[in-house]
Amino acid sequence: MRQFFLVLFLIISSFAKGQEVFFDLQTNAILQNASVNKHAKTVSQTAKTNLLQLPFLDDFSFSKNFPIATLWGDSSVFINNSYGINAPSIGIATFDAIDKKGKLHANLIPNVARLADVLTSKAINLYYPNDMSVFLSFYYQPQGEADAPENTDTLIVEFYSPVTNQWKAVWKAVFLANSVKEIFPSSEKIWKPQNTANTSFKHVILPVLGSNYLQEGFQFRFKNYVSINGLIPSKIGNGDFWNIDYVYLNKGRNENDSVRTDVAFVKPTQSLLANYESIPWRHYVNNPQAVKMNEFMTINYRNNDNRTRTIDSLYITFKDTLKHTNASKLEASASNIGAYVEMNPELPIGGYSFPVHSDTKAVFEIQVKLVTSSSFDPISNNKTAYYQQFYNYYAYDDGVPELGYGISGSGTKNAMVAYQFTSYMADTLRSVQMYFNQTYNNESQKYFELTIWNDNNGIPGTIIYRQQGIKPEYQSDLNQFYTYSIADTSNLVLSGTYYIGWIQTAEALLNIGYDISRDAQSKIFYNIDGNWQGSARKGALLMRPVFRKELLTNINTPKFEDNTVVYPNPASDYVKLKFDNQDVHEAQVQMLDITGKEVFFSTNYQSDELISIAHLQKGIYILKIKTQNQTITKKIIKN
């Protein structure tokens, strides 16, 4: 398995000299979320539903994280917009070394190809006796934005016969050093990617012939075989990626049918903020004119058809999800789009600003939609949406790590990593949120010092805060950062440019999440030998400074009376807190199990926000609820 490294990084020699390291994940945080269990239940409950009818089409644009249960019978592949390069439409299905719970498949062993992900269609009515026009087609891509398969790693398509009750391989793609060998039932083809580092999507079309398959109850499935690198087992990570898109089964086709009557978005919408993915809402409200916004929004859509298609309209809708204001609509000029042409127009949005309100947070939906005149154009991929979130932190990342990041090697015991931020107003730093990837045998559980630096002409300067005894911690919920609190006595008021990060206490990778879909490369610095260096790879660390109001000492602080309501209690899926004291609007909430282990933490819990407990074991849990000057506890029961 090829690992991701900043410079040519040989696994054994990497520990001879300290350096910046990028490496594959060993878990998928999204698939580890409890929702995967709910999805599995849905699949089992719908397993005996009626047979699917032709056509069968899934371009993975209308499902998120997991395959749609109405079409597929399993859920180990990852539906995403991150790993593919130049996909035919938004949304792809990624096959890798991780199972449906977000962890490495348990059967994998070093240097031996083993079965990993499987994607199986629901049973289909394919009773078309002697029909010669039934074909299954799809696009596939080895590697994409992630790790290339190893030699002999394989992607396979199998057909199921209701007559023989057996699965049979009808196509294979075997990855070679710089090419891919496609194996059909009666032939082999070898194609060489234009660039093995960013392999394009390739179209495959397979006939479905014979009485064994043309029956009620026909199924097909994709499988991949991976071989993990075992030179240093503690560094084993996810890899050997294959992406697929646009799976289409229908009759009335032929072997040359590679044309899709489809105009589709090919990339998701991005943040409207020029410098950040998210900023604190209070900081925006304080001076909206100071917050730099993008002047244009780039949208990306393609005509996958072999003829010119008409775009009737193209527009953006801005919607305040908290409903303080009405949705606004921005029309854009629409024109015809030629065959196989990709359009990347920049829509002017410089005049737009988010309407302010007095709440402590805000979320705006930004939806881009195109309307075509073709009745055959699938509409699920004709829209894409982005949610602009304003809470209490600054973020460059989108919350989903594709890689891991760390400093390792000889002489890195005191290595430092610093992440540059510039605030729009002076405010008290209350905590730092960090997202660490889980590692094999908890290899990354090494202590570090949480550190804050001031600015010295564009590089980290003097240390202004340092907290010892910190180590990587994990949350079990979807994309949940772990919050490292700043001591209340520090009164750490930050303004202008500053840096958050860590000082290592061991020569070990800490494995913090790294988002390659966003670019904060110029904000990342590391120091091994006393000199600060800038990072040399595009991406963003999953690390965020969190701010809150400064504590007011010149007024009467409201008491947090013990009339806070916890409901439902007992509960099975979630609980909520309702603050009956009208002077209290938010609180720090911590949930502990009976052993004292933290299972939930929020620095600014709002009244009636949902706290998911579906993933927790049955038993008793303690809530510690803290406001400005008082802490109370509540007991809840998970049933």
Q: Per-residue pLDDT for 437 more than 90?
A: no
CA pair distance 409, 507, nearest whole angstrom? 6
Which residue is associated with the tokens 């289409």?
A: 248
First to last CA, the chain: 43
Q: What are the phi and psi torsion angles at 336 (to 5°)?
A: -65, 155
CA pair distance 89, 518, nearest whole angstrom? 20
SS3 content of the chain, % helix, strand, coil (to 5): 5, 45, 50
**SS3 label, residue 482:** strand
Q: Per-residue pLDDT for 14 more than 50?
A: no
More reliable by pLDDT, 565 or 39: 565
The CATH architecture that domain 266-390 belongs to is: Sandwich (2.60)
Q: Mean of the pLDDT values across residues 515-544?
A: 94
CA pair distance 442, 407, nearest whole angstrom? 17
Reading the block at residue 14, the tokens are 């990497």
CA pair distance 477, 173, nearest whole angstrom? 35
pTM score, whole prediction: 0.71
More reliable by pLDDT, 215 or 267: 215
- Rounded to whole angstroms, the maximal C-alpha distance in the chain is 86
Q: What are the phi and psi torsion angles at 406 (to 5°)?
A: -170, 170
CA pair distance 198, 395, nearest whole angstrom? 28
* pLDDT (0 to 100) of residue 4: 34
Confidence of residue 562 (pLDDT cuts 50, 70, 90): low
**SS3 label, residue 491:** coil
Confidence of residue 409 (pLDDT cuts 50, 70, 90): confident
CA pair distance 551, 53, nearest whole angstrom? 63
Q: SS3 string of 545-566?
A: EEEECCCCCCCCCCCCCCCCEE
* pLDDT (0 to 100) of residue 610: 81
* pLDDT (0 to 100) of residue 554: 33
CB neighbours of residue 230 within 10 Å: 14
Q: Per-residue pLDDT for 160 more than 80?
A: yes
Angle, alpha carbons 581-583-586 (nearest 5°): 90
According to CATH, the topology of domain 33-250 is Jelly Rolls (2.60.120)
Instruction: Give me the percent of the chain exceeding a pLDDT of 90.
Output: 38
User: Is beta strand 216-226 parallel, antiparallel or unpaired with respect to 154-161?
Assistant: antiparallel
Paired residues of 51 in beta bridges: none
DSSP 577-620: EE--STT--EEEEEEE-TTS-EEEEEEEEETT-EEE-TTSPSEE
CB neighbours of residue 320 within 10 Å: 17
CA pair distance 31, 223, nearest whole angstrom? 18
All structural domains of the chain with their residue ranges: 33-250, 266-390, 403-548, 565-638
* Order of strands, sheet of 586-592, starting from the edge strand that comes earlier in the sequence: 598-606, 586-592, 619-626, 631-638
Please count the CA atoms within 13 angstroms of the CA of 7 that sit on its side-chain side: 8
In Å, how far are 245, 294, 330, 456, 556 from 316, measured between CA atoms? 26, 15, 5, 41, 46
CA pair distance 263, 288, nearest whole angstrom? 37
Paired residues of 545 in beta bridges: 432
CA pair distance 270, 262, nearest whole angstrom? 23
Which residue is associated with the tokens 């071989």?
A: 227
According to CATH, the topology of domain 403-548 is Jelly Rolls (2.60.120)
Please count the residues of the chain: 639
Confidence of residue 458 (pLDDT cuts 50, 70, 90): very high
Q: Are 171 and 183 within 8 A, CB to CB?
A: yes
CA pair distance 527, 299, nearest whole angstrom? 38
Alpha-helical runs (H) found in 15-80? 29-32, 35-45
* pLDDT (0 to 100) of residue 279: 97
* pLDDT (0 to 100) of residue 479: 52
* pLDDT (0 to 100) of residue 222: 97
- Residue type at 65? N
* pLDDT (0 to 100) of residue 21: 66
Average pLDDT of the residues of the chain: 82
Q: Mean of the pLDDT values across residues 68-81?
A: 89
CA pair distance 205, 55, nearest whole angstrom? 15
**SS3 label, residue 14:** helix
Considering 172-181, 186-195, 310-319, 494-503, the range whose residues carry the highest mean pLDDT is: 494-503
The CATH architecture that domain 565-638 belongs to is: Sandwich (2.60)
The closest of 379, 405, 351 to 524, measured between CA atoms, is 405
Paired residues of 22 in beta bridges: 405
More reliable by pLDDT, 29 or 419: 419
Which residue is associated with the tokens 């209070």?
A: 282
Asked if 33-250 and 565-638 have one fold, the answer is no
* pLDDT (0 to 100) of residue 27: 53
* pLDDT (0 to 100) of residue 209: 95
Q: Are 273 and 422 within 8 A, CB to CB?
A: no
CB neighbours of residue 413 within 10 Å: 13
Which residue is associated with the tokens 């609820």?
A: 625
Which residue is associated with the tokens 């699949």?
A: 43
CB neighbours of residue 8 within 10 Å: 6
In Å, how far are 108, 165, 240 from 595, measured between CA atoms? 33, 50, 39
